[in-house]
Structure 1
Amino acid sequence: MIQLSPEHLQAIRNHAESIYPEECCGIIFGHLSEDGKTVVEMMPTENAWSPETATDFPDVEVVDGRRRRYAIAPQVMLAVQKEARARSLCIIGIYHSHPDYPAIPSEFDRQCAWQEYSYMIVSVQNGTAGEINSWCLDENHQFQPETIEKLL
């Protein structure tokens, strides 16, 4: 389970709509407990997907660039991990959008995912953000739905 405020959900929707028709992406900070993950903060990031990034994935069909793929630059992830540690936070997940596609993970999303993270996906249809779903990898590296609980 991942817990977050309505404001966090709205921030994801706003970011996704502002970047449409490309995929947006961002990092989710928070705390881990036996009860799940609690979101404290979100940080929008630049979608760093590029033809150069695509060369790191030779088995992936490159279609429509940032309209169908996202990447967070490695140097951004490293800097953010250090900042999170200094603030006693953890990176607990990644969010991104699916322009004109459902809020379900793609095969590419699965191949690039890390087991400990939540992956929140927002569907953006014709520029309007809609459904948001969260997913986690199981022990077989397959996505399973994760419950989203809104904090009041």
Structure 2
Amino acid sequence: MVNVYITEELYKGLISYSLQRLPEEACGFILGGQAHGKDEELQVSTFIPLRNIASNPRNRFEISPAELLPYLMDSKNPVIGLFHSHPTAPPVPSEQDLQTLWHSIPTYWILSFQQLQHPELQLYQIKKAPQTSYHKLAFVIGQ
């Protein structure tokens, strides 16, 4: 089981950015690396907001390939997570989320505003073999 460590500041930043994007889905990359050399622990360093270019941005997200390529090519600051918000849905992968081509990225983050006063963040790993499946990951804020 992978544990993910997030600073309080980054967590609040995800909420703040996503609130600004409402009623559309916010999206971006989470950068970081292994925490203290431990295989099963990821330390988050940065959130990179990316534009949602989907034709229906209230219900899905799409990132411009030209905008995301520089981050995917940067081995010094690896992309360890794909982030997006669900403005009105729970923080559970949707059918579209499960069709993602992003399963090579270690973590998949969903921030739900189903209850606007109580945003809920969940992290997942999505596996594509032979059937698509997902499971929740543990995360710690403020370490």
Same fold (TM over 0.5): yes
Give the TM bin, normalised by the shorter chain: 0.7 to 0.9
Asked if the contact 1:31–1:37 (Cα under 8 Å) also holds between the matched residues in 2, the reply is: yes
Distance 2:16 2:118 in 1: 8
1:127/1:151 CA distance change after superposition, 3 Å:
closer
TM-score norm. by structure 1 comes to 0.81
- Which has the larger share of helix? 1
Structure 2 residue 22 is the aligned partner of structure 1 residue 31: no
How big is the shift at 1:91?
A: 0.4
| Aligned pairs (5 A) from 1:110-149 | 110-112=98-100, 113-125=102-114, 128=117, 130-138=119-127, 139=129, 140-149=131-140
TM-score norm. by structure 2 comes to 0.85
Q: Tell me the C-alpha RMSD between the 2 structures.
A: 1.7
How big is the shift at 1:136?
A: 0.5
Distance 1:89 1:129 in 2: 31
Give unpaired runs (5+ residues) of structure 2.
none
Give unpaired runs (5+ residues) of structure 1.
51-64
Q: In structure 1, what is the equivalent of residue 90 of structure 2?
A: 102
Letter in 2 for 1:49: A
Asked if the contact 1:30–1:90 (Cα under 8 Å) also holds between the matched residues in 2, the reply is: yes
SS at match of 2:68: helix
Q: 2:18 aligns with which of 3, 16, 19?
A: 16
Asked if the contact 1:3–1:149 (Cα under 8 Å) also holds between the matched residues in 2, the reply is: yes
SS at match of 2:99: helix
Deviations 1:12-55 (A, max 9, x none): 101110000100001100003412211011111110112xxxxx
Distance 1:129 1:72 in 2: 26
Asked if the contact 2:71–2:78 (Cα under 8 Å) also holds between the matched residues in 1, the reply is: no
Structure 2 residue 50 is the aligned partner of structure 1 residue 45: yes
How big is the shift at 1:126?
A: 6.7
Asked if the contact 1:16–1:97 (Cα under 8 Å) also holds between the matched residues in 2, the reply is: yes
SS at match of 2:54: coil
